[in-house]
Amino acid sequence: MTIWAVANQKGGVGKTTTVISLAGALRQRGERVLVVDLDPHASLSSYLGLDPEQTDDGVYSLFLKAVGEAPVNGGPRVRHTGADDIDILPASPALAVLDRKYGTRTGMGVVLQRGLGGLKGEWDHVILDCPPMLGILMVNALAACDQLVIPVQTEFLALNGLRRMLRTLEMIGRSRGVVPDYLIVPTQFDRRTRASLQSLYTLRDEFAPHVWEQVIPVDTRFREASRLGRPLTTLSPEARGARAYDALCRDLMSSDKQLREVAS
Ligand SMILES: Nc1ncnc2c1ncn2[C@@H]1O[C@H](COP(=O)(O)OP(=O)(O)O)[C@@H](O)[C@H]1O
Ligand SMILES: [Mg+2]
């Protein structure tokens, strides 16, 4: 089982879109996929048809169990969805209180890493959708993942957010001993606009070896896919956006393979 995390402290950069699109691309290849929604806003859970008011037995329950409190409804419970048979451990608004209630307890940074193995089900891949703020949930995702994907919108102000994200990564890496392998993915790229082109050049200049060599284009069909609660990669595999995410999926899988070879 390999674990990918998708994170950026900025909202609206395409994290959730990246998670659902990669999940679909993996399903297209016959891989078994679990997605984990770590964002208290629960956009991914809603995308897949769940009501976030009724999902405290998801990620929240995993954390309650870790601190010795009674988990909700016997959770943590993975939900099977009709969206291409993607499984999800859902988020709920209660996740927003974790930092305040348990943020200072020791061992809180590895709850997810330890808890994933205990979930009922078998998967080839787990993908973690991170909240847009630094806190216990993001720390857990960074500790648990084999690879980290950082979507960055190709627009002028996005690079500041990226620098902040990389400082966070370094900080967490120092306490953990390692920084996960990360790949910066330019998203919502519009080749007709100067802002998109210039920020892509700057990205490649400044962060070179870590920037994915392709881009995720702007594609209005993502909106249609989200309305239907399906990944664009399975709904319309021929769409430009879907093809780009499929290529990203392929590259991440081949990096997984390389990481395994190095480890063995
Ligand atoms: N490549 C893209 N082309 C067009 N719209 C996109 C693209 N990626 C994301 N979006 C849209 O942008 C909005 C924010 O994306 P989302 O994935 O929810 O970001 P985040 O999870 O980082 O907050 C959503 O409405 C989504 O449909
Ligand atoms: Mg999101």
Point out the residues of the chain with pLDDT beneath 50.
none
pLDDT at 130 (0 to 100): 98
The alpha carbon of 105 and the centre of ligand 2 are apart by a number of angstroms equal to 27
8 A C-beta contact, residue 244 and residue 17: no
Helix, strand, coil percent content, the chain, rounded in steps of 5: 50, 15, 35
Structural domains of the chain, with CATH: 2-254 (3.40.50.300)
CA 147 from centroid of its chain's CA atoms? 10
Distance in angstroms (rounded) separating the CA atoms of residues 103 and 111? 12
SS3 53: helix
State the DSSP H helix or E strand holding residue 151, giving kind and residue range, or none if neither.
strand 147-153
8 A C-beta contact, residue 4 and residue 116: no
Task: Enumerate the β-bridge partners of residue 187.
Answer: 153
> What count of Cα atoms within 13 Å lies in the side-chain half-sphere of residue 2?
19
* Contacts (Cβ under 8 Å, ≥6 apart) of 154: 186, 187, 188, 189, 190, 195, 196, 197, 199, 200, 203, 215
pLDDT (tens digit per residue) in 120-157: 999 999 999 999 998 999 999 999 999 999 999 998 88
Count of CB atoms within 10 A of residue 155's CB?
A: 17
The alpha carbon of 130 and the centre of ligand 2 are apart by a number of angstroms equal to 7
CA 1 from centroid of its chain's CA atoms? 16
8 A C-beta contact, residue 32 and residue 253: no
Distance in angstroms (rounded) separating the CA atoms of residues 135 and 262? 31
pLDDT at 264 (0 to 100): 83
Q: For residue 19, which atom of ligand 1 is closest to its CA?
A: 17
The alpha carbon of 131 and the centre of ligand 2 are apart by a number of angstroms equal to 7
Pocket of ligand 1 (CB under 6 A): 11-17, 43, 187-188, 216, 218-219, 222-223, 226, 241
Residue type, 108: M
Distance in angstroms (rounded) separating the CA atoms of residues 113 and 127? 12
8 A C-beta contact, residue 78 and residue 126: no
